[in-house]
Amino acid sequence: MLVLLLLLAGWFLILAASTLLFATRSGSQPHPLPTPLPRVSVLIAARNEEATIVRCLTAIRQLDYPAQLLEVLLGDDASTDATSAVAIRVMQGFAGSFRVLPIQETLGQARGKANVLAHLTKAATTDFFFITDADIAVPRTWIQGLLAHTAPQVGTITGLTLVEGPRIFHQLQGLDWLMSLGLVQAVSDLGQPVTAMGNNMLITRTAYEATGGYEQLPFSVTEDYELFRATIRLGFDYRIIFRPEVLAISLPMRTLGNLLHQRRRWTRGMESLPWWLRVGLLYYAGFYPMLVVLAWLAGPAVAGLVLAIKIVLQGALASVSFRRAGRRPPLWLMPLFELYSFVLTFTLTTFRLLPLSFEWKGRRYK
């Protein structure tokens, strides 16, 4: 019992310290944009995105950055719907450069989204690759927001993403995302590279080409993290930006099954993290198993008190995360978020152990 209580106390201490660190450190600060403004490439991988591509490209068209300095490249990965036709229609009259590239060949070791991006980077003609997904709507200030953190040895700059949708299940995903990114920011502010998100990322041509590109990297279902790790190994620096001007909005996972497939892919990437981070994540994910054991040993009243402390501490993290993102924190969701987290922890643990393939856009990978 004493060991269990010490483990739970340590869990609370780490969460409180992380929240305090996140709240008191401002992170990377923007600097004046280069003059003249550079041309940049926006790279989007798409497969059967007829239903989402309008929203994505409309946001691209509304960017505050001069359109004539934008090169937008959409890689159509053998879509069986009207993705390309819809994209071309949306981008008619665009003052910048826009092309749809049909992806038909496999480059090197790249597969899936990594293969699409390998083709797009070869077609790009600028020195800055802005990568996003077809289910993402970037903010008007996205380009200058990320460019303002570039520096000679910085290879990757990662923006901020929030899941939004009308249902409570969608809002719980948004709460989960932003709090998790707050913890990532806290670790990154200590100078520890954790990850990068390929739905809201800038990578320089110099850093990308130094890695050999996706065709030279080992295949991974978390291709963004594999690329990020390669740039770190080569000595490039990175920036993780938690600011409203780089806040992109992602469509939510519609069902628990979709969410489990997404998180299962992420856990594969986590298995490549440094050992101490893996241990930390296992410890963090172990709260509910510890709570169940506590309820059995000490009774539901004690377990309920411990859970209440967790809700308060996570509410503080949520408050800081949403306010730094320029949003109002949905603190009323915190009790329901505990049920969401409990279900997700146990179902994902079981789901990850099953001998299933990883899925991306209707394709399966091992």
Predicted confidence at residue 364, as pLDDT, reads 60
Exposure string over 50-70, b if 16+ CB within 10 A, otherwise e: bebbebbbebbbebebeeebb
Q: How far is CA 229 from CA 137, 208, 226, in A?
A: 26, 11, 5
- Which one, of 287, 274, 302, 297, lies nearest residue 344 by Cα? 287
* Strand order, beta sheet including 160-163: 136-137, 247-250, 160-163
Residue 77 CA to residue 84 CA, distance in Å, equals 10
Residue 47 CA to residue 168 CA, distance in Å, equals 28
- The helix/strand/coil state of 150 is coil
Predicted confidence at residue 6, as pLDDT, reads 87
- Which one, of 59, 319, 15, 285, lies nearest residue 178 by Cα? 319
Predicted confidence at residue 352, as pLDDT, reads 64
- Which one, of 18, 4, 3, lies nearest residue 281 by Cα? 18
Q: Which domains does the chain have, with CATH numbers?
A: 2-24+268-365 (no CATH), 40-258 (3.90.550.10)
- Which one, of 301, 268, 320, 273, lies nearest residue 27 by Cα? 320
Residue 121 CA to residue 123 CA, distance in Å, equals 5
- Averages of pLDDT over each 10 residues, the chain, 366 residues: 86 93 89 94 96 97 97 96 96 95 91 93 97 97 97 95 95 94 89 86 97 90 86 95 96 86 70 68 83 88 93 96 95 94 83 60 59
Predicted confidence at residue 150, as pLDDT, reads 95
Q: Residue 237 belongs to what H/E stretch?
A: strand 237-240
Strands 160-163 and 358-360: unpaired
Q: What is the pTM of this model?
A: 0.92
Predicted confidence at residue 188, as pLDDT, reads 87
Predicted confidence at residue 363, as pLDDT, reads 60
- The helix/strand/coil state of 147 is helix
